[in-house]
């Protein structure tokens, strides 16, 4: 049987590496690639798993994710988050959990962007683990588009 790396393209390998880079470094790399080779940058964007992709998570997987992350991380991560992410997560929470989350967000007050990014990264680490175990499925775009599973 052939190695799983034989069939992989360089862009897939780069996307895997970028998933674990510091977010600022990843954004800078993507920005520079967009200027020099926009087609590759576009392909990379399709392969990168971001916090906003949680808006496309399946209900059962998002429920598993919510059970494994802290309320504080969730509250931090949702500060300034995309409305679609808020809706996807809230629709998988009980009314009581939503009330607790609102209270925690209010209690936290203003926070540095770096704190928010760190909380999002901790959540993404857990989300990636769930994706790898096939406990969370992310369907971005049309059904015939690439699925992270």
Crossing angle of the two packed helices 59-68 and 113-132, in degrees rounded to 10: 120
Average pLDDT over residues 50-68: 95
Average pLDDT over residues 124-133: 91
- 45 or 145, which is more confident? 45
Closest CA to 50 of 131, 145, 110: 131
Average pLDDT over residues 52-75: 96
Alpha-carbon distance values, 91 to 21, 55, 62, 139 (Å) = 30, 11, 10, 17
The H-or-E segment that residue 117 falls in is helix 113-132
Confidence of residue 91 (pLDDT cuts 50, 70, 90): very high
Measured distance CA(97)–CA(92) in Å, rounded? 10
Confidence of residue 32 (pLDDT cuts 50, 70, 90): very high
Average pLDDT over residues 95-114: 94
Right CATH for 1-48 from 2.60.40, 4.10.860, 1.20.5, 3.90.920: 1.20.5
Q: Where in the chain is the domain with CATH 1.10.220.30?
A: 50-144
- In the block, tokens 């392909």 appear at 43
Q: Which two tokens stand for residue 73?
A: 């991380």
How would you write 9-68 as a 3-class SS string?
CHHHHHHHHHHCCCHHHHHHHHHHHHHHCHHHHHHHHHHCCCHHHHHHECHHHHHHHHHH
Q: What is the pLDDT of residue 44?
A: 86
Right CATH for 50-144 from 3.10.20.740, 2.40.37.10, 1.10.220.30, 3.40.50.970: 1.10.220.30
Q: Which two tokens stand for residue 98?
A: 């939503």
pTM more than 0.85: no
């Amino acid at each position: 049987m052939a190695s799983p790396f034989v069939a992989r393209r360089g862009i897939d390998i780069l996307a895997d590496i970028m998933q674990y880079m510091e977010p600022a470094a990843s954004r800078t790399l993507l920005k520079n690639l967009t200027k020099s080779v926009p087609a590759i940058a576009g392909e990379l964007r399709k392969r990168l798993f971001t916090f906003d992709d949680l808006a496309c998570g399946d209900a059962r997987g998002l429920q598993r994710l919510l059970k494994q992350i802290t309320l504080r991380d969730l509250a931090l991560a949702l500060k300034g988050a995309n409305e679609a992410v808020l809706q996807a997560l809230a629709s998988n929470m009980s009314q009581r959990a939503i009330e607790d989350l609102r209270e925690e967000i209010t209690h936290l007050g203003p926070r540095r962007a770096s704190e928010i990014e760190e909380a999002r990264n901790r959540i993404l680490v857990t989300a990636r683990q769930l994706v790898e175990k096939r406990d969370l499925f992310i369907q971005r775009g049309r059904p015939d588009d690439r699925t992270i599973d």
